[in-house]
Chains A and B, each alone.
Chain A
């Protein structure tokens, strides 16, 4: 590592190749240990590490170009790519997703409605950039929102469908007592909502006390005024909470309705096994 003086900013420490290689070594080590303990996540860790490197590297090359685009069509194109990629990840994180197009549409649709709506609201009414879709605000904001809703929705949906699978006798036991589909799955839905919201609730509790949120740190490192950076960060966290929370709610409502048919039968055959 070496310290470099930067115009405008204070000091910026740049990383060399060896810094990256050593940190990658830690991931390798983790993968090797999990392989040795037969915990079976080694290949996913390696694929993940490779994807992070490739994707962030490519973004590093293209981000200046992307931010320089003024056209609205560009923003639509880029945000669509982001959304579709996030939708694929939500599907891939689930042990028992819904079969067919519904499996993909469920997560993707919920993310689109929550993230896009919250991003639009923030860009138009809060940040008030001119034009509102200016890429250097719109893209990172949408990215933060999609990344967090993606986590929340994949955790929530995964929990809803796996728990329904495991606790089918409880759900059916309640149906047999004359309870509606909604009542029968309520406890499971509560648990799925709790799990989905846990990461962002943790973030809120830890912000500033345990963790220095990335965006705020970045602004301060880049020479921004710390209190302004804090205000920005608070707003971002609130937006994430709203986006994630409404996204999970929407996904869980839709998914739990689809777990039953019109005769209020639990239809686990709609899930992949």
Chain B
């Protein structure tokens, strides 16, 4: 489903206008603090904004928020966990592709506070993909991973998109990753989104 922003403003940022096609793979650059995460939050309607954001041809403001967030999978830079153990955070923990991300099934019985930030980030992706979103918003998904896990994570995301036809908007600070993962590169500036 297409994603289209028109004259979107939030906090001090905007007006931003750009469109992403349904299965487009786009990477997003931007100086830190420029509002990349805030923009992703506005897209899933977690932060207030003005202007218009369309998803699949419909104003996001008219889509029930729970439905919008199920279809637009947003993976924040830091994932949050609220139960003591890992497994209750998942709908079907037995069916997760754990080995694809270098885990064994033992990870499910671990306590959340024992997880490293890299493990949390990888598990956060699995939890988000469980919703079967139609478009992914990825906020530096590989920031705290070691190089071998970065590859696994990239492969899993590409694989998911190949299978489902989903696209993504991928925030990355790593130029080589931005080139590798994006068929199109954007840069967020305080009052525009520029093509790179």
Contacts and interface: CB of A to CB of B under 8 A. Distances in A.
Q: A and B: real partners?
A: yes
A172 interface: yes
Contact of B66 (A169, A264, A265, A266): A264
Contacts of A264: 65-66
Given A173-B76, A173-B79, A177-B127, A263 B65 contact: yes
Interface in B18-43: none
B80 interface: yes
Contact of B61 (A178, A180, A263, A266): A263
Interface stretch (B45-53, B94-102, B149-157, B162-170): B45-53
B78 interface: yes
A176 B66 contact: no
Contact of A176 (B48, B67, B76, B82): B76
B71 to A, nearest CB: 8
Interface residues of A, number: 17
A178 B80 contact: no
Q: Which residue, of A177, A179, A180, has the highest number of chain B Cβ atoms within 10 A?
A: A177
Contacts of A173: 76, 79-82
B132 to A, nearest CB: 10
Contacts of B66: 178-180, 264
B80 A169 contact: yes
Looking at chain B's contact residues, the main secondary structure is loop
Contacts of B86: none
B171 to A, nearest CB: 15
A273 B168 CA distance: 36
Interface string B123-146: 000011001000000000000000
Q: Which residue, of A174, A178, A180, A264, has the highest number of chain B Cβ atoms within 10 A?
A: A178
A167 B80 CA distance: 9
A170 B81 contact: yes
B70 interface: yes
B173 interface: no
B55 interface: no
Given A263-B45, A263-B65, A265-B45, A177 B82 contact: no
Contacts of A167: 80, 82
A36 B152 CA distance: 56
Nearest to A178: B70
B81 A178 contact: no
B74 A176 contact: yes
Contacts of B44: 176
A187 interface: yes
A176 B45 contact: no
A172 B80 contact: yes
A177 B48 contact: no
Contacts of A170: 80-82
A175 interface: yes
B6 interface: no
Contacts of A179: 66
B69 interface: yes
Contacts of B47: 265
A179 B65 CA distance: 9
Interface string B59-92: 0010001110110001010111110000000000
Interface in A21-52: none
Interface string A183-195: 0000100000000
Given A263-B61, A264-B65, A264-B66, A176 B81 contact: no
A202 B112 CA distance: 32
Contacts of B74: 176
Contacts of A187: 82
Ranked 3 nearest A-B pairs via Cβ: A173-B80, A178-B70, A264-B65
25 contacts: A167-B80, A167-B82, A169-B76, A169-B80, A170-B81, A173-B76, A173-B79, A173-B81, A174-B82, A175-B46, A175-B69, A176-B44, A176-B46, A176-B69, A176-B76, A177-B127, A177-B131, A178-B66, A178-B70, A180-B66, A187-B82, A263-B45, A263-B61, A265-B45, A265-B48
